[in-house]
Amino acid sequence: MASTNKRLRRSQPGRGVRERRERERRERQRRQPLSWFAIDDDDADWPAADRDRLVRTDGALGISPKDVQARIRAKLATF
């Protein structure tokens, strides 16, 4: 029964993403950066207040596309 529960927990969609977002939030609170942005291929569970800080990428292409690189440059220019 325990192994079944583990499999069910692992298969829950978004569980890992929510945990990662929570770790990121705690890290920002700890460090309190003046400026920050994130590069991620998964925009699930991003708080609405932080959406403008996210540079969304394609999971397969990463930061290779020119439009993604332009958005990263634009974010960096604000620092």
The enclosing H or E element of 25 equals helix 15-31
pTM of the model: 0.71
User: What tokens does 13 get?
Assistant: 């969609």
Write the DSSP string, 46-69: --GGGGGGEEE-BTTTBT-SHHHH
Please give the tally of structural domains in the chain: 1
Summarize pLDDT for 17-50 with one digit per residue, the tens. 888 888 988 999 999 999 999 999 988 888 888 9
pLDDT of residue 9: 42
Give the structural domain span for 62: 2-77
pLDDT of residue 14: 62
Summarize pLDDT for 52-75 with one digit per residue, the tens. 999 999 999 999 999 999 999 999
Cα 56 to Cα 70: distance, rounded to the nearest angstrom: 12
Our measurement of the distance from residue 32's CA atom to the centroid of its chain's CA atoms, rounded to an integer in Å, reads 17
